[in-house]
A and B are shown apart, each in its own frame.
Chain A
């Protein structure tokens, strides 16, 4: 168990660190223009020394685009998850801590939102606001919020019943103090695990939205956009789909592996 865990964790961690590093560093070394530089003489060119991953339908270098795409995808996914935490965490804590009517009301709302599949909700919101980087973040963030709120509330409910919380309450600790000192630190592990997993889903969601034309806007390099563009050239230039596909797979796989290990470490109860 331990050995497998650490191997898996190591792979996950390596992938995540590698991709996050690429996402952070790439824009510093690769000028933005490199991702949109076209070469009409080398359209849909196969992998070669000049273009290690080949080129797309406008003769743009896929290696450069996939590397710059890491920045786009991770930024959107990261901000979306952050948004869902900023909104979902207080909702869940307040709901779980105060319970009663407020809890009923909030959870009814959350349940209602959960009835909409996340991608459907994100698509509808994105269609409503019009596609842009900022709106993609909002669409995905809002769609993920009810999931996070639900989990946080469950955790808060559990923590509230812990003896030390009862003790603190008996000692007359104020509500805000109680939440900051006792509740939040104890639900943080779950929030971190959920955030890691949400990040993986957010990357998939961004790809899905861009694929349908409702996410990132061209000519920006985004993995979903790249896969979308590849559709028309699949049998002729399969690398145009495989390159961004592999990038998505590696990132999401890394995050999932890392999330699994995190859960085992941070949340012993979930360990099977």
Chain B
């Protein structure tokens, strides 16, 4: 219990620091927000009026107070470029990104776990080096490059899947999946490679352990030993590593969503950065960091629940 409280408190503290850093970095950004709102054909006096009304001339601390107060009360302000409440925008875009993040995690795990186990079982043989080389290749190319290749193959050449865009799962789920599949796959390939390597090394470690030898000595079939005893114990660490990759995924979605015109959090963040939409930059950077931290927290807590040492006894 005290572990739980400690972990929660430290998460809260880090969240607070994250908000400070987010605010500090984004306020150092050069660029004229008023200009961005009004466009090139705007009149200088109108611009100055807008700067005043946006509070761009207030002291930093006052601006931070306003901002964090708003965040805590659920009022994230209004996006300057989209003229929409940021809370609504975030809710909408997080759902979109969740779709590809979950989908890519699913794709990656579905491929990486069997492949990693297979490589570990055939350790030091050709299967192992094949899996190892394949997964190295996976992490060796930027995900946007995979994305370009996937567009070329599945959209342009085969015409199976749309090359871009986003469809709302709440309206048309199959269509939403079709739109999400290629970006998810582009994200998933790098992740898959990483998880394969992790699964392999975790499995190798476990297969070397005493209880596996005992199980084998008891005459259990190799299949039972590997899947029931080996993998069951490897899953915890693999899941932990997978969970920690959420951060990596949220970094990658910026490039991948932009490439696929998939309008989720990554796309939103990039648009915000490009357009100097300060409130939106702050909100989206903060939310991404918060999502990463909360995922890590959940993973940590789950890990305690499925700790193999506890289950072994």
What residues of chain A have their CB less than 8 Å away from a CB belonging to chain B? 1, 4, 7-8, 108-109, 111-120, 123-125, 127-128, 130, 200, 204, 207-208, 211-212, 224, 227, 230-231, 234-235, 238, 241, 245, 248-250, 252-253, 256-257, 260, 272
Which of A108, A123, A208, A241 contacts B148 (CB under 8 A)?
A241
Interface positions, chain B 265-313, Cβ under 8 Å from A, are 269-270, 273-274, 281, 285, 288-290, 292-293
9 shortest interchain CB distances as A-B pairs: A117-B251, A119-B251, A252-B140, A253-B140, A272-B204, A112-B17, A115-B289, A1-B124, A272-B201
Are the C-beta atoms of A245 and B21 separated by less than 8 Å? no
Are the C-beta atoms of A234 and B144 separated by less than 8 Å? no
With contacts A128-B29, A204-B142, A227-B144 known, is A112 near B285, CB below 8 A? no
Which of A109, A113, A272 contacts B205 (CB under 8 A)?
A272
A203 and chain B: residue at smallest CB distance: B142
Are the C-beta atoms of B29 and A4 separated by less than 8 Å? no
Q: List 19 A-B contacts (CB under 8 A).
A: A112-B17, A112-B18, A115-B289, A115-B290, A117-B248, A117-B252, A118-B248, A123-B254, A124-B273, A124-B285, A128-B28, A212-B255, A227-B145, A241-B145, A241-B148, A248-B141, A256-B140, A272-B200, A272-B201
**B-side contacts of A114, CB under 8 Å:** 247
Interface positions, chain B 116-156, Cβ under 8 Å from A, are 124, 128-129, 132-133, 136-137, 139-142, 144-145, 148-149, 151-152, 156
What residues of chain B have their CB less than 8 Å away from a CB belonging to chain A? 13-14, 17-18, 21, 25-26, 28-30, 124, 128-129, 132-133, 136-137, 139-142, 144-145, 148-149, 151-152, 156, 200-201, 204-205, 247-252, 254-255, 258-259, 269-270, 273-274, 281, 285, 288-290, 292-293
**A-side contacts of B17, CB under 8 Å:** 108-109, 112
With contacts A227-B145, A238-B152, A257-B136 known, is A111 near B14, CB below 8 A? yes
Are the C-beta atoms of B247 and A117 separated by less than 8 Å? yes
With contacts A4-B129, A127-B29, A256-B139 known, is A112 near B251, CB below 8 A? no
Q: Is the interface of A mostly helix, strand, loop or mixed?
A: helix
* A224 vs B145: C-alpha distance when bound (angstroms): 10
| Nearest CB of A to B71, in Å | 16
With contacts A109-B17, A119-B254, A123-B273 known, is A252 near B141, CB below 8 A? yes
Which of A109, A115, A211 contacts B255 (CB under 8 A)?
A211
Which of B148, B156, B281, B285 contacts A116 (CB under 8 A)?
B285
**B-side contacts of A112, CB under 8 Å:** 14, 17-18, 21
Are the C-beta atoms of A117 and B288 separated by less than 8 Å? yes
Are the C-beta atoms of A234 and B29 separated by less than 8 Å? no
| Nearest CB of A to B166, in Å | 19
**A-side contacts of B136, CB under 8 Å:** 253, 256-257, 260
* A62 vs B217: C-alpha distance when bound (angstroms): 61
B251 and chain A: residue at smallest CB distance: A117
* A238 vs B273: C-alpha distance when bound (angstroms): 30
Which of A8, A117, A249 contacts B140 (CB under 8 A)?
A249
Which of A8, A120, A224, A272 contacts B285 (CB under 8 A)?
A120
Q: Is the interface of B mostly helix, strand, loop or mixed?
A: helix
With contacts A116-B285, A127-B273 known, is A208 near B144, CB below 8 A? yes
Are the C-beta atoms of A234 and B152 separated by less than 8 Å? yes
B246 and chain A: residue at smallest CB distance: A117
**B-side contacts of A130, CB under 8 Å:** 30
**B-side contacts of A1, CB under 8 Å:** 124
Are the C-beta atoms of A235 and B156 separated by less than 8 Å? yes
With contacts A8-B129, A117-B247, A272-B205 known, is A227 near B140, CB below 8 A? no
* A7 vs B152: C-alpha distance when bound (angstroms): 34
| Nearest CB of B to A112, in Å | 4
**B-side contacts of A119, CB under 8 Å:** 251-252, 254-255
* A257 vs B197: C-alpha distance when bound (angstroms): 12
B124 and chain A: residue at smallest CB distance: A1
**A-side contacts of B141, CB under 8 Å:** 245, 248-249, 252
A125 and chain B: residue at smallest CB distance: B25
A256 and chain B: residue at smallest CB distance: B136
| Nearest CB of B to A200, in Å | 7
Are the C-beta atoms of B250 and A120 separated by less than 8 Å? yes
* A54 vs B50: C-alpha distance when bound (angstroms): 51
With contacts A117-B288, A227-B144, A248-B145 known, is A4 near B124, CB below 8 A? yes
A-B contact sample (10 more), CB < 8 A, given A111-B14, A115-B289, A227-B144 = A116-B292, A117-B292, A120-B285, A120-B288, A123-B273, A200-B140, A207-B145, A245-B141, A245-B145, A252-B141
